[in-house]
């Protein structure tokens, strides 16, 4: 299937996938002498679930960190909504509507679930510091309005019961869900998930898969995710990028990727003779 | 009531009041430590610097006058005006915000991701640098600070409590300045708590205190938060500087009060605002009562060392302090 950057198409399950929202062009990222990402290009289309897979150390997380502004590639360009993105700090990227979760959960342990999720809306709060300091009418209205949105996310992810619990006390699976909730609260245009199902049992994985699909379906959120569990990836994603040793070795629909000889070699190993 | 008990009560009250001043200094430490994990050695000097600046502005002193006179051979010292206390306080607060910005811009920004000990060393450097700048800007002589706060014993309180004891008891003696300091400290703590719990910047501040990376990912600018938190700490330093300066004059030994804040922090825990308050009160009351009861037996002057011995005991038996977070490493 070959598509132009502005083309859209309808998937088998009836979702509309739009034009390209984010394009990575010839990204190279080095740490000293180590090349983490080597000349990789790929795009993410509006409304799709795009997976990045690959063996350990392939550079998947680095790629996600480039998108979210935590790393700055030495070469290559990041295009977002048809415009080249200048070098940005992570908080500026977040303000552009790109939210993310982390592989090893980065939540605010001392704060309640509700407060954690509220931080997701910080970039959208417009009242200034003076208004905030004296809890001026606008600050209060704003807080209530954002609180409403946050409650919707809480309902959506079925975490009503733990709203007031400090995050530090939650079990791992729920923490992952709270982190997703915080990212969703920002109403992101692009949602980046770094191994959303790592370390989960089968039941938790099923829950998480359902949430990811629902988010994509109900809000039309574009999602890019990294995952190890091949079964999950193949079920969830519309298109897959495969990385190995910092290089791109495959890109396409799950079926195309599954039958790609390079990918099979990378995952199963190949006999050297 | 027996007089001995009444005296002990009076000592306790005075200890509480003195404790409030310790708490004020400790509060500044806690704010910065919570938000950035930096133990800010310069907090005491910040209080001194704020007090010096306040007096300087109030009296219309020309900053760096010694330097200017030495270079240009002039003889200027004063602008020839005086500034009302309220205005001077606001101007000094503005100076502290500029200072916070400068610290972020010229020091912290370049030390991101360095080990805590490096940052700690940087604040030691900062402390001595500021002491020097303060000296150069406003001169090294002891200054009298008067922003119109009431001083001296409260006669009303004395007269109305005299009936409690016998003929030898003349009522409780409490400095009115201490009462003002207590009220101001209470207002400060309540507004800080409300700000951090219910405002968006407060939430961002707590977020940064918890996890830098996560804070960045939800769109919080670390630099803004650092400037904010150093500004708030600067404001707290100003309040502490005003209270201490009014009490004992603005002099360079003021920066040593920072040392008294250390045992307060060890007691209260470095990360707890209520801890700083309670720690300060315990030290204040503790050292006064100890001096009152035990002092005469050991020849007095126990106030110099009591706080540190108490802190040492805490370090041995409860290193995280009364309210600090216990650090448990999972293995």
Q: Which CATH number characterizes residue B98's domain?
A: 1.10.3470
Q: Does some domain include residue B104?
A: yes
Say if the Cβ atoms of B218 and A89 lie within 8 Å: no
- Identify all chain A residues contacting B217, using CB atoms and an 8 Å cutoff: 68, 90, 94, 99-100, 102, 106
- Residue in B200, B201, B206 closest to A108 by CB: B206
If 0-12 CB within 10 Å is exposed, 13-18 middle and 19+ buried, where does residue B27 land?
A: buried
The 8-class DSSP code of residue B64 comes to: T
Instruction: Encode pLDDT of A165-192 as tens digits.
Output: 999 889 998 999 999 999 999 999 999 9
Report the pLDDT averaged over residues A256-273. 79
Q: How many CB atoms lie within 10 A of CB B309?
A: 13
Q: Does some domain include residue B93?
A: yes
Q: Does some domain include residue B323?
A: no
Chain pair A-B, CB pairs under 8 angstroms:
87
Give the residue numbers in A contacting B (CB under 8 Å), as ranges: 68, 70, 89-92, 94-95, 99-100, 102, 106-111, 115, 118-120, 122-123, 125, 127, 129, 132-133, 135, 139, 143, 182, 186
Question: What confidence score (pLDDT) does residue B210 get?
Answer: 82
Starting at the edge strand found earlier in the chain, the sheet holding A222-226 runs A98-100, A190-194, A222-226, A49-53, A239-244, A247-252
**Nearest residue on chain A to B193, judged by CA atoms?**
A133
Cα(B116)–Cα(B295) distance, integer angstroms: 39
Instruction: Encode pLDDT of A66-86 as tens digits.
Output: 999 999 999 999 999 989 999
Q: How many CB atoms lie within 10 A of CB B178?
A: 22
Question: What confidence score (pLDDT) does residue B55 get?
Answer: 93
Domains (range + CATH), chain A:
1-97+188-273 (3.40.50.300), 109-187 (no CATH)
Report the pLDDT averaged over residues B286-314. 89
Q: A201-210, B159-168, B260-269: lowest mean pLDDT where?
A: B159-168
Question: What confidence score (pLDDT) does residue B170 get?
Answer: 73
Instruction: Encode pLDDT of A118-136 as tens digits.
Output: 998 888 877 666 666 666 6
Pick the closest to residue B151 from B34, B249, B11 (CA basis).
Answer: B249
Q: How many domains does chain B have?
A: 1
Residue B330 predicted with pLDDT over 60: no
Question: What confidence score (pLDDT) does residue B69 get?
Answer: 87
Pick the closest to residue A109 from B330, B326, B206, B29 (CA basis).
Answer: B206
Question: What confidence score (pLDDT) does residue A232 get?
Answer: 83
Q: Does some domain include residue B169?
A: yes
Q: Does some domain include residue B307?
A: yes
pLDDT band with cut points at 50, 70 and 90 for residue B328:
low
Q: What percent of chain B has pLDDT over 70?
A: 96
Q: Does some domain include residue B322?
A: no
- Residue in B199, B203, B221 closest to A119 by CB: B203
- Identify all chain A residues contacting B199, using CB atoms and an 8 Å cutoff: 129, 132-133, 135, 139
**Nearest residue on chain A to B219, judged by CA atoms?**
A91
C-alpha distance across the termini of chain B, in Å: 58
Query: Considering the entire predicted model, what is its pTM?
Result: 0.80
Q: Does some domain include residue B331?
A: no
pLDDT band with cut points at 50, 70 and 90 for residue A3:
confident
Supply angle C-alpha A85, A87, A90, rounded to 5: 100
Pick the closest to residue B218 from A29, A150, A34, A41 (CA basis).
Answer: A150
Say if the Cβ atoms of B218 and A110 lie within 8 Å: no
Q: Are A156 and A207 in contact (CB under 8 A)?
A: no
Sign of CA dihedral B205, A195, B114, A70: negative
- For A244, the token pair is 């190995």
- For A151, the token pair is 């409650």
Instruction: Encode pLDDT of B31-40 as tens digits.
Output: 888 877 788 9
Q: Does some domain include residue B157?
A: yes
SS3 call for B78: strand
Which residues form the domain of B132? 3-317
Q: How many CB atoms lie within 10 A of CB B220?
A: 26
């Amino acid at each position: 299937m070959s598509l132009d950057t502005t083309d859209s198409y309808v998937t088998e399950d009836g979702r509309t996938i739009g034009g390209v929202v984010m394009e990575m062009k010839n990204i190279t990222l080095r740490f000293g002498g180590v090349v983490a990402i080597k000349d990789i290009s790929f795009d993410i289309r509006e409304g799709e679930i795009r997976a990045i897979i690959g063996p350990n150390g392939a550079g998947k997380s680095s790629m996600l960190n480039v998108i979210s502004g935590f790393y700055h590639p030495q070469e290559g360009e990041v295009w977002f909504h048809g415009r080249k993105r200048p070098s940005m700090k992570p908080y500026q990227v977040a303000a552009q509507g790109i939210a993310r979760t982390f592989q090893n959960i980065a939540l605010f342990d001392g704060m309640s679930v509700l407060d954690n999720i509220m931080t997701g809306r910080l970039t959208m709060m417009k009242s200034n510091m003076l208004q905030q300091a004296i809890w001026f009418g606008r600050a209060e209205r704003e807080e209530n309005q954002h609180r409403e949105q946050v409650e919707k996310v809480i309902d959506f992810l079925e975490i009503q019961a733990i709203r007031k619990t400090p995050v530090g006390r939650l079990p791992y699976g729920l923490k992952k869900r709270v982190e997703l909730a915080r990212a969703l609260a920002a109403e992101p245009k692009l949602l980046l998930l770094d191994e959303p199902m790592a370390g989960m049992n089968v039941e938790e994985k099923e829950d998480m898969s359902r949430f990811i699909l629902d988010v994509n379906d109900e809000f039309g959120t574009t999602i890019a995710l990294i995952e190890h569990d091949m079964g999950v990836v193949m079920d969830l994603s519309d298109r897959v990028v495969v990385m190995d040793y910092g290089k791109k070795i495959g890109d396409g629909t799950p079926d195309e990727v599954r039958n790609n000889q390079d990918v099979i070699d990378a995952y199963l190993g190949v006999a050297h003779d | 009531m027996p007089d001995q008990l009444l005296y002990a009560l009076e000592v306790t009250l005075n200890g509480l009041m003195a404790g409030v001043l310790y708490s004020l200094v400790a509060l500044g430490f806690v704010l910065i430590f919570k938000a950035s994990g930096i133990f800010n050695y310069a907090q005491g000097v910040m209080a001194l610097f704020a007090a010096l600046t306040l007096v300087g502005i109030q009296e219309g002193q020309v900053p760096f006058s010694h330097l200017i006179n030495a270079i240009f051979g002039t003889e200027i010292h004063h602008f020839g005006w005086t500034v009302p206390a309220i205005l001077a306080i606001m101007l000094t607060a503005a100076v502290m915000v500029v200072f916070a910005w400068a610290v972020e811009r010229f020091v912290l920004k370049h030390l991101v991701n360095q080990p805590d000990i490096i940052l700690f060393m940087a604040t030691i450097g900062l402390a001595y640098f500021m002491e020097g700048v303060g000296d150069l800007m406003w001169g090294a002589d002891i200054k009298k600070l008067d922003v119109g706060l009431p001083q001296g014993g409260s006669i009303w309180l004395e007269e109305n409590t005299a009936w409690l004891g016998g003929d030898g008891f003349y009522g409780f003696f409490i400095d009115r300045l201490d009462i003002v300091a207590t009220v101001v400290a209470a207002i400060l703590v309540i507004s800080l708590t409300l700000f951090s719990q219910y405002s968006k910047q407060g939430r961002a501040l707590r977020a940064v205190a918890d996890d830098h990376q996560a804070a960045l990912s939800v769109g919080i600018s670390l630099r803004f938060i650092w400037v904010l938190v150093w500004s708030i700490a600067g404001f707290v330093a100003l309040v502490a500087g005003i209270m201490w300066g009014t009490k004992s004059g603005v002099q360079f030994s003021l920066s040593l009060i920072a040392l008294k804040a250390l045992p307060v922090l060890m007691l209260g825990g470095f990360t707890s605002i209520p801890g700083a308050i309670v720690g300060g009160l315990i030290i204040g009351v503790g050292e006064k009562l100890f001096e009152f009861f035990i002092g005469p037996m050991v020849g007095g002057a126990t106030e110099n060392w009591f706080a540190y011995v108490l802190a040492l005991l805490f370090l041995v038996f409860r290193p995280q302090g009364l309210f600090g977070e216990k650090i448990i490493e999972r293995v």
